Amino acid sequence: MTIVLLILAGLLVLAVAFVAVGHAVGTTEAMPRQIVVDAHEAIEFCAEALPDRITASLSYDDLRRLIRLHLEWVQAYHWAPASIDATPVVFEQYDPLAYVMERCHVVGLEVSAEEAAAVIEAHSDYLRVAGALHIDDPVDVEADLAEFPLLDRPDSPSAIEAGDVGDDGEAPSSS
């Protein structure tokens, strides 16, 4: 009888372990792909991308500190949503510059706004190339959205009304 109880207890432990591992694997599979950013590679990329007038006045240490401050902003304001249904967060173009300049003042890093803006632009380019950051051009997004009617409103007109079809059976272009 003792052997039967030990076997049943072992099977119960295995079942609980399989359920727990299965849940953990399912949660991990649902997460977005993780990008690893190499700090040394980012510094080299930015140093090569910056204009000569900026690299003449910034040391590698200043560049490293500016990149770190920009990463603080990215971490604070950009995150992977818990669900796919989450709406994106839109920031103004100069939000990172204002944040970095404020943090430069706090940490005692003496750089101009032009230098910080150039580093932010170069570092953002690096993050895009690495696949860690995706930023749509706000002008393109607004133009794309302006072309489409609101679909979730019952009173909004259809993109192609019955009378909008031309002689060739095609809808007229909006250009």
At 68, list the tokens.
């770190």
Q: Identify the pLDDT of residue 39.
A: 87
Helix (H) or strand (E) holding 28: helix 2-30
pLDDT in tens, 57-84: 999 999 999 999 998 888 777 655 555 5
Contact predicate 96/81, CB 8 Å: no
Greater model confidence, 112 or 150: 112
pLDDT at 109 over 60: yes
Long-range contact pairs involving 31-38 (C-beta distance under 8 Å, separation at least 24) = 31/80, 32/80, 35/130, 35/131, 35/132, 37/127, 37/130, 37/132
